[in-house]
Amino acid sequence: MAWTFGEPALPQTEAAAAAVRRAVGLLLALEQEEPAVDRLLAELERATDALDARVPTDLTPRVGPAVDRDARVYLDHSRHIGAFNPCFPEYDLEVDGDRAAGVVTFPLPYEGPPGVVHGGFLSLFFDCAVQHHNCDVDVAGKTTSLSIRFRRPAPVRTPLTFAIERAVTHDRIRSTGRLTLDGRLLCEAEVEAIAGNQADLPAVSPRRTIR
């Protein structure tokens, strides 16, 4: 059974994440101020005021000691975080036991130097993809270390391929990842995580029905 911890995101949340990511990319490419942005800001303010009245005042996640509190639902971060949170990258991942591979494209919001992915987002990507791999093969746990070596600039708005290999020894998972473009190595990562046990995870509250 795949490792999960938390509730799935709402379809609206996933649709909003995609829309926000696209809108930010367009905003970053604007040459001049646009009336459409003023309209977007006005509508966004109205929407956020309405949402503020619908979420708990306590934004502590309902996990462990807070599981019974009138607090925030915790969304499952085991895989595909970018599907519901535009601050995280999106990618495709195919898992084959201790190996995994996929494709990632970083849109404009992830740019650092001109036309190049910010190195911090590459680190975030590898942390997410490695833990996704771990969760899919049902031995996962908290990241304890992550190191990354930058070999060549990774371009934004370009499909990049990656590969991950992992090994479990005692209570540690050690993964190596490589990001490439047309066979050229862009960066490589080494990630170590605790080999945890799902039975030891704290309780997490399911999504509640609001009347």
Q: Could you give the angle at the alpha carbon of 78 between the alpha carbons of 151 and 81, nearest 5°?
A: 65
Q: Would you give the end-to-end CA distance of the chain in angstroms?
A: 33
Tell me if 61 sits within 8 A of 74, measured CB to CB.
Answer: yes
**Among residues 80, 88, 130, 128, which one has the least CA distance to residue 109?**
88
pLDDT value at residue 111: 98
Residue 68: closest CA among 211, 208, 167: 208
d(CA 192, CA 147): 9
Instruction: Tell me how far apart the alpha carbons of residues 111 and 31 are, in angstroms, rounded to a whole number.
Output: 17
pLDDT band at 88 (very low <50, low <70, confident <90, very high): very high
Closest Cα partner for 175 from 120, 119, 132? 132
Q: Which of 63-72, 116-125, 195-204 has the lowest mean pLDDT?
A: 195-204
The 8-class DSSP code of residue 91 comes to: E
| Full set of structural domains in the chain with CATH | 11-200 (3.10.129.10)
Give the Cα separation of 164 and 151 in Å (integer).
17
pLDDT of residue 211 exceeding 70, the answer is no
Global confidence as pTM: 0.93
Distance CA 88, CA 72 (A): 20
pLDDT tens-digit map of 150-196:
999 999 999 999 999 999 998 999 999 999 999 999 999 999 999 98
180, β-bridge pairs: 161, 185
Percent of the chain surpassing pLDDT 70 = 99
Q: How confident is the model over 71-87, as pLDDT tens digits?
A: 999 999 999 999 999 99
